[in-house]
Amino acid sequence: MELLGQAPENAVHQGIFEIVNPLTDLLRKNQKWEWTVACDDAFRSLKQAISSQPVLKLPQFDKPFEVQVDASDRALGGVLVQDKHPVAFESHKLKDAELRYSTHEKEMTAVIHCLEAWRHYLLGMKFTVFTDNVTNTYFKTHQKLSPKQVRWQEFLGEFDFEWVHGPGKHNDVADALSRKLVEEYVAALTVVKSDFLDQI
């Protein structure tokens, strides 16, 4: 069922969610798990859509960017978005010291890492950072900071952005990237290979 979360955003316009209804129905509460012919057809159609849809779009600097980040216990991930379509993906396994960070610090590490990776897109642009950790939205106004947090605050000061807090369920791609430790996962999302359909 994890495959459902990886359907490209522009597949919505192709009616993909209507196609996968038999699969999403299996996820309903108190629903008996029964794999039917309709489920099989929907699964094949979904694999076809994922392997044939354009995954990334080129950035347009006259439109606003959104940065969506998430951190898990062992990794972090993010997606750079324009018009609800991914421009870039980022994923990173946490270092030993970072594994001991609090949830807030891990989430902030995800923000810092993604802004560093996409600096060439974001410097000089106004953008939004979406996080499921409400503490981050107040980070710029914190008075008592550790030396590490002071460095983070200085780095963030180079960018023109606003924080938006939202529940993790609205941040599926970044959440998936933060929970996958294998770099090939990101490569499979950003480059569609000819045998991709067979690999699913």
Q: Give tens-digit pLDDT for 26-69.
A: 877 788 888 999 888 888 887 776 666 556 889 999 999 999 99
Q: CA nearest 116: which of 159, 175, 179?
A: 159
Contact 167, 138 (CB under 8 A): no
- Name the band, by pLDDT with cuts 50, 70 and 90, for residue 173: low
Residues 75 and 151 in one domain: yes
Shared-domain flag, residues 70 and 34: no
Q: Which two tokens stand for residue 13?
A: 């316009």
Residues 43 and 71 in one domain: no
Asked if the structure places residue 81 within a domain, the reply is: yes
Contacts (Cβ under 8 Å, ≥6 apart) of 187: none
Number of other residues whose CB lies within 10 A of the CB of residue 180: 19
Residue 13 lies in domain:
2-53
If one counts every other C-beta atom within 10 angstroms of the C-beta of residue 103, the result is: 13
